[in-house]
Structure 1
Amino acid sequence: MDRYESSQTRQTVEANIQAYINLIHQQNSVWNSIPSHYYSDYNVKRGLRNADGSGVLAGLTTIGEVHGYVMDEGNKAAVEGKLRYRGIDVEDIVKNCQKEHRFGFEETAFLLMFGFLPDRETLDQFTQVLASRRDLPYEFTEDMIFKAPSKNIMNKLGRCVLALYSYDDNPDDISVANLLRQSFDLIARFPVLVANAYSCKRHYFDGESLVLHNQNPTLSAAENFLYMIRPDNRYTPLEAEILDLALILQAEHGGGNNSAFTVHVLSSTGTDTYSAISAAVGSLKGPKHGGANDKMLSMMSEIKANVKNWEDEDEVLAYLKKILRKEAGDGKGLIYGMGHAVYTISDPRTGILKAKAKELSEVTGHQKEFALHDLVQRLAPRAFLEEKGLEKDICANVDFYSGFVYQMMGLPQELYTPLFAMSRIVGWCAHRIEEVMTSNKIIRPAYKTIAKRLPYTPIDQREKLMTDNAES
Structure 2
Amino acid sequence: MTESESLFIGRLSVLAERNDPIDKSLYDKYDVKRGLRNKNGTGVLVGLTSIGDVVGYEVQDDKKIAIPGRLVYRGYNVEDLIKDAEANNQFGYEQCVYLLLFGELPTQSELDHFKEYLGSLRQLPDNFTEDMIMKAPSADIMNKLARGVLASYSYDSNPEDRSLSNVLRQCIELTSRFSTLTAYAYQAKRRYYDGKSMYIHNPLPELSTAENFLRLIRNNKAFTDEEAKLLDLALILHAEHGGGNNSSLTVHVVSSADTDTYSAIGAAVGSLKGRRHGGANIQVSAMMDDIKENVKDWSSETEVKRYLEKIANKEAFNRTGLIYGMGHAVYTINDPRATILRDRAAKLAHEKGLDEEYNLYKMVEKFSPDILYEKHGDGKKICANVDLYSGFVYSMLNIPQELFTPIFAISRIAGWSAHRIEEIVAGGKIYRPAYKNISAERAYVPIEKR
TM-score bracket for the superposition, by shorter chain length = over 0.9
Give 1:313 shift.
1.1
Q: Secondary structure at the match of 1:206?
A: coil
Q: Which runs of 5+ in 2 are unaligned?
A: none
1:144·1:163 contact (CA, 8 Å) conserved in 2?
yes
Distance 1:292 1:201 in 2: 21
1:260·1:428 contact (CA, 8 Å) conserved in 2?
yes
Q: 1:105-153 deviations in whole A, cap 9, x for unaligned?
A: 0000000000000000000000000000111110100000000111100
1:222·1:240 contact (CA, 8 Å) conserved in 2?
yes
Q: Secondary structure at the match of 1:34?
A: coil
Q: Does 1:28 align with 2:12?
A: no
- 2:298 maps to what in 1? 310
Q: Secondary structure at the match of 1:143?
A: helix
- 1:427 maps to what in 2? 415
Distance 2:297 2:97 in 1: 44
2:373·2:381 contact (CA, 8 Å) conserved in 1?
no
User: Equivalences for 1:206-221 in 2 at 5 Å?
Assistant: 206-221=194-209
Give 1:243 shift.
0.3
Q: Which runs of 5+ in 1 are unaligned?
A: 1-9, 463-472
- 1:7 maps to what in 2? none
- 1:289 maps to what in 2? 277
Distance 1:142 1:459 in 2: 51
- 1:470 maps to what in 2? none
Q: Secondary structure at the match of 1:78?
A: strand
Q: 1:310-359 deviations in whole A, cap 9, x for unaligned?
A: 11111111111100111111111100001001101011111111111001
Letter in 1 for 2:17: N
Q: Does 1:345 align with 2:333?
A: yes
User: Equivalences for 1:31-430 in 2 at 5 Å?
Assistant: 31-430=19-418
- 1:18 maps to what in 2? 7
1:68·1:342 contact (CA, 8 Å) conserved in 2?
yes
Q: Work out the percentage of aligned pairs sharing the same amino acid.
A: 54
Count residues in correspondence. 450
2:118·2:176 contact (CA, 8 Å) conserved in 1?
yes
TM-score norm. by structure 2 comes to 0.98
Change (3 A) 1:19 1:221: closer
Moved more, 451-460 or 423-432: 451-460
Distance 2:303 2:216 in 1: 42
Structure index of larger Rg = 1
TM-score norm. by structure 1 comes to 0.93
Q: Secondary structure at the match of 2:193?
A: helix
Letter in 2 for 1:430: A
Distance 2:371 2:244 in 1: 29
| Aligned-pair Cα RMSD in Å | 1.3
Give 1:393 shift.
2.2
Q: Secondary structure at the match of 2:151?
A: helix
Q: Secondary structure at the match of 2:269?
A: helix
Q: 1:44-93 deviations in whole A, cap 9, x for unaligned?
A: 11111111211111110000100111111111111000110001000110
Distance 2:98 2:241 in 1: 16
Change (3 A) 1:277 1:23: closer
Change (3 A) 1:16 1:355: closer
Q: 1:454 aligns with which of 434, 442, 445?
A: 442
1:78·1:393 contact (CA, 8 Å) conserved in 2?
no
Distance 2:261 2:270 in 1: 14
Letter in 1 for 2:262: Y
Change (3 A) 1:109 1:27: closer
Distance 2:334 2:373 in 1: 17
